[in-house]
Amino acid sequence: MDIKFSKSIGNVKKSFIREIFKVLDQPDMISLSGGFPNPASFPIDEIAEAAKKVLDLDGRHALQYSATEGYVPLRKYISERYKKRFGLDIPFEQILITNGSQQALDLLARVLIDNGDDVIVEYPSYLGALQSMSFYLPTFHEVRLLEDGVDLAMLEEMLKNHQPKFFYTVPNFQNPTGLTYTKENRIEVARLIEKYECLLIEDDPYSELRFYGEEVMPIKSYLGERGILLGSFSKIVSPGMRLGWVVACPEIMDKLITAKQATDLHTNVFAQRVVYQYLKDNDLDAHIATIKAMYRRQRDCMVTMIERYFPQGVSVTKPEGGMFMWATLPEGISSMKLIDQAIANKIVFVPGDPFYVNRVDANTLRLNYTNSNETEIEEAIKRLGRVIQDAIDAKK
């Protein structure tokens, strides 16, 4: 058939991570590619208990159509947790439950971006965000990341020269770099957003997973209504449940609700009630503590193995939390060109390219440490070290 598809869908690249799924089933393959939690951390029995309770107590509502905004007790729980963690007052009416925070990104892009609108993203940025925004045909501007956060001079330059709809950031244990913005950097970002009357989309799936250093307040806490904040239960309870949320002021929330209605009516209410029941009956902080202990060991193991097995000239970030490290290879070595060799050696990672708007043959790559045990991490880093060494040798 000769179907004319929409211009917009033609602009969306397939997710590299989703495409790589196909090789993951090969025997002995070790994946450092996805952003998967360690399934050993899933509270399976507690979720089973919660599911039973939800159906016993009020199965008729748990299985019926429900409100677009989400299940009120769950929204109140999220509101209270912001209060407890940061002293932030966020009324539950300003929280919309979404199918994972990926949907929140799509809904925000949907209500904010017209073809050609300017938006600012990090360089590199979360590939799922680039993918979801690209559908709406914005003009991307990429702002460099430094050790302490975003390059503020470059950010101000972009805010001054364009009228961007928003700046999209992952300020905690960023995906893909693992970097975290300092408090000072955040305060400046907030000031610039206010000064240039822009919006901030602050994506925060990882901040609960801090193993080292001190918690930093969300940028939203330094901003008023120009701050939009995203969160997720994917990394602290279960990603399969697809439960995320977006915090937005009433003016934006109103549009998001309309967009959500038109998109899928509402988020799975059975899942919302089950997760709420789980949170109510269990100690989330204790659960998160066990996840963090697990991930800290895995992260430390990867750091050690990288020191042992990676060739000279490769630099790697050392995140204080979250799920990822970011490696920079010697100049001129394309991580994308290493992928076939890596797969032949039964190891996968995500090359840098999809984390940039247009860059190809980047010398960067993302490594995930949460979904492999220490034996696997050692083996994977050893294999990857050899693949990188071979590439360096071949260049000589």
Within 326-345, which residues bind its own copies (CB under 8 A)?
none
Structure token pair of residue 320? 């204080």
Site map for its own copies, 135-154, x if CB under 8 A?
A: xx------------------
Contact with its own copies (CB under 8 A) among 174, 232, 238, 345: 238
Chain centroid, CA 176 distance in Å = 8
Nearer to its own copies, 72 or 152 (CB): 72
Nearer to its own copies, 124 or 149 (CB): 124
Q: Using the rule CB under 8 A, which residue among 31, 32, 33, 68 binds its own copies? A: 68
Nearer to its own copies, 33 or 364 (CB): 33
Between residues 111 and 306, which has the closer beta carbon with respect to its own copies? 111
Could you say whether residue 112 binds its own copies (CB under 8 A)?
yes
**Count of CB atoms within 10 A of residue 354's CB?**
25
298 interacts with its own copies by CB under 8 A: no
Interhelix angle 374-395/284-309, nearest 10 degrees: 40
- Which pair of structure tokens corresponds to residue 258? 């309309």
CB of 160 to its own copies, least distance (A): 18
Residue 275 to residue 199: CA distance in whole angstroms: 31
Q: Does 239 bind its own copies (CB under 8 A)?
A: yes
What does the alpha-carbon distance between residue 102 and residue 245 come to, in Å, rounded to a whole number? 9
Nearest CA to 202 out of 170, 175, 177, 159 is that of 170
Angle made by CA atoms 109, 170, 207, in degrees to the nearest 5: 125
| 263 near its own copies (CB under 8 A) | yes
Question: How many residues of this chain bind its own copies (CB under 8 A)?
Answer: 86
Residue by residue, DSSP assigns 166-219 as: -EEE--SS-TTT-----HHHHHHHHHHHHHTT--EEEE-SSTT-B-SS-----G
From candidates 29, 187, 249, 357, binder to its own copies by CB under 8 A: 249
Q: Which strand (E) or helix (H) includes residue 104?
A: helix 100-112
| Shortest Å distance, C-beta 113 to its own copies | 6
Backbone dihedral angles phi then psi of residue 361, each to the nearest 5 degrees: 55, 40
Of the residues 20, 30, 32, 47, which one makes contact with its own copies according to CB under 8 A: 47
Q: Which of 114, 214, 283, 393 binds its own copies (CB under 8 A)?
A: 114
Report 217-236 residues binding its own copies (CB under 8 A).
Answer: 225-226, 234
Q: Is 116 in the site for its own copies (CB under 8 A)?
A: no
Interaction of residue 265 with its own copies, rule CB under 8 A: yes
State yes or no: residue 60 binds its own copies (CB under 8 A). Answer: yes
Map the footprint of its own copies across residues 79-98, applying CB under 8 A.
Answer: 98
Pairing of strands 200-203, 227-232: parallel
**Degrees (nearest 5) of the Cα angle 106, 112, 113?**
85
Stretch that binds its own copies, among 167-175, 247-255, 357-365, 382-390 (CB under 8 A): 247-255
Q: Which one of 20, 30, 31, 37 is in contact with its own copies (CB under 8 A)? A: 37
Q: Nearer to its own copies by C-beta: 112 or 339?
A: 112
Check whether the bond before 351 is cis (ω within 30° of 0): no
Choose which of 134, 174, 185, 317 interacts with its own copies (CB under 8 A): 134
Q: Does 393 contact its own copies by CB under 8 A?
A: no
Tell me the pairing of strands 167-169 and 243-247.
unpaired
